[in-house]
Amino acid sequence: MGGRRQKSRYQLALFAEGRGEASRAAGKGTEPSMTGRETESRAEDVQLMEQVVEADNARVALKRVRDNRGAPGVDGMTVDELPGWLREHWPALREELLSGRYRPKPVRRVEIPKPGGGSRMLGIPTVVDRFVQQMLLQVLQRRLDPEFSDCSFGFRPGRSAHQAVARAQEYIAQGCRFVVDIDLEKFFDRVNHDMLMGRMAKRVKDKRVLRITRAFLNAGVMAEGLVRASDAGTPQGGPLSPLLSNVLLDDLDRELQRRGLSFVRYADDCNIYVRSQRAGERVMAGVTRWLEKKLKLRVNRAKSAVGRPWERKFLGFSFTHHRQPKRRLAPESVARFKQRVRELTRRSTGRSLQSVVERLAEYLCGWLGYFSFCQTPSVLEDLEKWIRRRLRCLVWKQWKRGRTRFRELVRRGVSAKEARQTAGSGRRLWRVSKTPALNQAFPAAYFAQLGLPALHVRRAV
């Protein structure tokens, strides 16, 4: 308890200098006017950087960066080292931001695998740059987010992927039984800097904010010890990139609304719902031309298609074909889930059942936090049974000898006759895992006691 209070006082002290200076700077040299509110609004427009470096905003940004953790950038500084660095350098950093002289370092380029195969390039800014971006994000988000479309759900406060999926479900229930599934090819790598900054300049009047935003875009990339200039794209990995993507793609939202289309967009995933195949093909052709001409973005024609919603996936979910559709797990999501569970329950690791269940429970809790939003409990029930069979296979292999298997089955309440038949069986592990003896020795309640989460509301075992 005392440690938390000391940590809080330490963070408060970091930004003690300059407390309240944003409000004083905003009012300095401003005469009272009959149009006070409009004058104040114009002052805020050109003095956003004062809000960025305000002490409260900096404290929140520091907490967010520390909570998000993340790897070091090109300078090797870790998140844990950031508070100490700020304690010494905050006044100088603040002055650089206010004067417009701050220059970010190149991002460190790393390659990470994509869930559906292939890889994605991730740009990791330095910890200090992440802190500055987070301060900018908090101010710009409050200012820009209210202007975005109601059909946009990605990277926005108070909005989520679940809300996007539910909105898509509403369109299908209203009779839009075809979906135009648009996939933008390498969107974050292809963002045109001039187009993006032109749209930022329409919304933000503080030249310093625009200058530092452009500096982050042009900071360059370090890979294998060499720095390469970046003339397009906004690197994934920085706090500011999602907001900038919404600024650019807000033009797409406005165009779709102008055309009177029913759509849902989550970051660069956009689904448009129409009533016929012909209408879908017409919309696909028109929107593709518009994206490539107006925003200089490329549509991935191999992954984009017009089809039935229950044949496509959206944010890991799909839908049933009923008149009132239900949310279900997309087949790709089930396949990825099973692959991960197989990795966690491998029988060659030598780990105890308790250890395996603990690791598995950690993954399942995170998975359920997102995918429990589906409305097909029978699928979750089948997955839960499948997991228990995997765990029974693990135990059966660890017992190895027939004598050990017989003894352990009897100890768990299996009759001697049933235990003898099962222990002496030459069947493979997967078939044995479904036998009455192993189901009796290791019922669902047993795994629940070990801490295995239930994937669905349990009925009779």
Determine what percent of the chain is predicted with pLDDT higher than 90. 74
pLDDT of residue 226: 55
Write the CA distances from 82 to 126, 132, 157, 222, 300, integer angstroms. Answer: 10, 12, 26, 21, 40
Q: Are 371 and 316 in contact (CB under 8 A)?
A: yes
Pairing of strands 221-223, 107-113: parallel
pLDDT of residue 458: 47
Q: How far apart are CA 319 and CA 325, in angstroms?
A: 6
User: Is pLDDT of 281 > 60?
Assistant: yes
Q: How far apart are CA 205 and CA 71, in angstroms?
A: 33
Q: Give me the sheet containing 269-274, strands edge to edge.
A: 262-266, 269-274, 178-183, 305-307
Query: What six digits make up the tokens of 57?
Result: 């905003």
| Residue of higher predicted confidence among 321 and 426 | 321
In the block, which residue shows the tokens 């009533």?
Answer: 275
Q: Are 429 and 396 in contact (CB under 8 A)?
A: yes
pLDDT band at 37 (very low <50, low <70, confident <90, very high): very low
pLDDT band at 3 (very low <50, low <70, confident <90, very high): low
pLDDT band at 461 (very low <50, low <70, confident <90, very high): very low
The per-residue pLDDT of the chain, averaged, comes to 87
- Least confident range from 1-10, 39-48, 348-357, 436-445: namely 1-10
- Least confident range from 188-197, 200-209, 339-348, 404-413: namely 188-197
Torsional class of 272: left (φ above 0), alpha (ψ -120 to 50), beta (otherwise)? beta
Mean pLDDT to the nearest integer, 5-13: 52
pLDDT of residue 222: 66
pLDDT of residue 435: 94
Q: How far apart are CA 148 and CA 20, in angstroms?
A: 30
User: Is pLDDT of 15 > 80?
Assistant: no
- Least confident range from 25-29, 169-173, 204-208, 396-400: namely 25-29
**Number of Cα atoms under 13 Å in the Cβ half of residue 459:** 6
pLDDT of residue 189: 81
Ramachandran angles phi, psi of 314, nearest 5°: -145, 115
User: Is pLDDT of 8 > 70?
Assistant: no
pLDDT of residue 447: 96
Q: How far apart are CA 353 and CA 55, in angstroms?
A: 50
Mean pLDDT to the nearest integer, 196-200: 94
